[in-house]
Structure 1
Amino acid sequence: MIESWKSYRHRFMPWVLLNLKKQFKERSVELGGAELVQLKLNLKRQILEALASGVSHHTDIALKNSKIPNCGLGVFSNEVIRGNEFVTLYPGSIYYPGDSIFFQSIRNQFIFRCHDGIFIDGNNKGMSRMIFKSLTGRIGPKSRDTTWLSLKSTFSVGQIINNGGSNKFNVAYQELDFNESELSTAFLRMLPYVHFNSNAEPFPLRVVAIYALRDIAPNEELLSSYFSIDYSNC
C-alpha cells in the first residue's frame, strides 16, 4: 500500500498542488512573457510540421523498461534531443469542467489537469479506453488517432513518461490551444484527442505537448514532474 501510494501521489492533484506549486510557479515565471509565447509558437510549428509529414512515430524516442523500480515502461531518447524541442503528446479524452469524470478517475493514474480545469484522460485501458473508442466511433471511422491506445505511436506517449521527482525532471508539459484555422480536417484526424461532451465545439482544441527542458543524451530516460502551470494567453 505504501509503495503504491508513493507512485500514485504524483498523479493525485491535491498532493501535487501542495508539494510542487511553488517550484513550478517559479519555473513559469522564469519562462514568462515573450519567451513563453515564443516557446508555444515553436511547439505548435513543430507539431504541425510533424503532422504535415505524416509522422506517427517519433524516431527520437522509444519505450523501454523504466530505470525507476516498479514503474513499468518508461520513455527513452534514441538520440540527442535538443532543449525546447517537441518530444511527444499527452493524449486522451478531453473533459471540460462539469463533465462527468468521477468513475473514470477511480484508480486512474493518467488524468492530466490543465491550468483552467480541463482534464485529459490518458489511460489506454479499462473504462477510459472504451470511452475514447466509443467517442471516436460516434464521430466516424478514423476520425481521430487511436494508435496511442496500443502504444504503437511514440508521437503520443506522454502519459507513459515517469516522475523524476523535484530535481531530476528533464521534460515539461505545455498546454496549447489550436484554432480551426490552424488545423485541417486531415490534421485533426491524426491527433489523439476527442471531447467527452459531444456537444462541445471542436475548437479550440486543447493539446498537451511535452518538450525537452535541456539537451537530453541518447538512452536517457525522459522524466517529468506531473504538473504544469501556464500563464500565457497564447
Structure 2
Amino acid sequence: MFRTVVKRFQDKWKSYRHRFVPWIALNLSKNEKTLRQVTEGSKDKLVPDEEVSQTLLKLFRVLLRTHWANHEEVRAAQTQFLRQVTSEDHYGENPTHGDDAMLQSLGFHIDRKPSTLPSAGTGVFVTRGFVPKGATVAMYPGTVYQAYEPILLQSIRNPFVFRCIDCVLIDGNNKGISKMVFKSCSGRDRVGPFIMSDTSWLTSSPQNPLAVGQYVNNCSNEWPANVCYQEYDVPDTFPIELRQYLPNVNYSQDSQRPLRCVVLVSLRDITAGEELFSNYYTVVH
C-alpha cells in the first residue's frame, strides 16, 4: 500500500514539476541544453500571426461546412426513417460522416495516445499526413486570466496552467473547478445565436481537433522539441461564426484585451507516427 502511494506521488510529481516555478529555477542550469531562448518577448514568434489566422480560418471553415452537412444528413436520415416506418420497410444504415476536416484542410491529423516517455501519461502524435516546418499543429485550450485576476483555487494541484511571457495565464485543465469556470464563462459570452468559444475540448472528443496542446509533453536530450509555443491574440476581424471553434475564453467579461490563444508551431518537418514535444522552458533575455 505504501509503495503504491509513493509511486502515485512520484508519477504526479514528474508530470507537475516542469510547471513548478521554484523547481524550474533550481534546475535551469541542468536543463540548459533543452532551454528555448529568445532575445526579447516581442520576438518569440516563429511565424507571423497572419499565418496562424489563415490556418485557423482554413480549418474552421471546413469544420463549419462539415457541421452543417452533418445536420443535413441527420435531417435526411430522420425523413428517410419516417418513410420507412410508415411503409413498414427496414431501417437502413446510418449516414456517413464527412471527410476528416483536419486532414482535408491542413494535410495532417493529430490525436492523443499514450506517450513514448516513461510515466508521462498521455501524449500527442501525428497520426496521419505530414506536418511541414512552420505549421500550426495544435492549440492550448483553457480559460485566459490576466496577471491581476485570481487563479489560486484553480491552480491547486493543477499541472495545466500555462504562463505567457506577459504573465497572462491559461488554465488548460478539463476537470474540477477549472472545467466549471470555463463552461460558465463560455455560456456568459454568447452573442445572440453565436457561440463565442468551444467547450467540447473538455470532453474526450473535441470538435476542434487542434485543441489538445495541453497534452504535448516536455522535450528532453533524447527527445528534442519539434514544436514550440507561440502566443497569438485573436484579431477583431476574426469571423463571429467561426469563434465557436476557439478553445479559449476570457475569465473577465469586461476584458479590453483581445482573446489570447497559444498555438504550437512546428520547428521542423514532422512525419506520421512521431510524438510532439515542446519546451516548457523559455528564457527571455
Whether the TM-score (by the shorter chain) exceeds 0.5 is yes
The 8 Å contact of residues 171 and 210 in structure 1, kept in 2 or not, is answered as yes
1:225 deviation in Å?
1.5
1:11 maps to 19
1:10 deviation in Å?
1.0
C-alpha separation in 1, matches of 2:215 and 2:45: 25
Q: Deviations over 1:20-67 (max 9, x none)?
A: 689322xx349x86x947443322221222223227963411211111
1:72 maps to 121
CA RMSD of aligned residues (A): 2.8
16-25 vs 146-155, greater mean Cα deviation: 16-25
2:96 maps to none
2:57 maps to 48
Aligned-partner residue type, residue 48 of structure 1: L
Alignment of 1:1-234 (within 5 A): 1-16=9-24, 19=28, 23-25=35-37, 28-29=38-39, 36=45, 38-54=47-63, 58-59=102-103, 60-78=109-127, 79-140=129-190, 142-153=195-206, 154-165=209-220, 168-181=224-237, 183-201=238-256, 203-228=257-282
The 8 Å contact of residues 114 and 228 in structure 1, kept in 2 or not, is answered as no
Aligned-partner residue type, residue 24 of structure 1: R
Q: Which runs of 5+ in 2 are unaligned?
A: 1-8, 67-100, 104-108
Q: More relative contact order in 1 or in 2 (CA 8 Å, sep 6+)?
A: 1
Aligned-partner residue type, residue 264 of structure 2: I
- Summarize the Cα distance change of 1:190–1:4 in structure 2 as closer, same or farther, 3 Å threshold: closer
Structure with the greater alpha carbon radius of gyration: 2
1:81 deviation in Å?
1.2
- Summarize the Cα distance change of 1:111–1:199 in structure 2 as closer, same or farther, 3 Å threshold: same
Aligned-partner residue type, residue 150 of structure 1: T
- 1:155 is paired with a residue of what secondary structure? coil
Aligned-partner residue type, residue 270 of structure 2: I
C-alpha separation in 2, matches of 1:6 and 1:90: 20
C-alpha separation in 2, matches of 1:130 and 1:123: 10
- 1:112 is paired with a residue of what secondary structure? strand
C-alpha separation in 2, matches of 1:145 and 1:2: 34
- Summarize the Cα distance change of 1:39–1:62 in structure 2 as closer, same or farther, 3 Å threshold: same
- 1:46 is paired with a residue of what secondary structure? helix
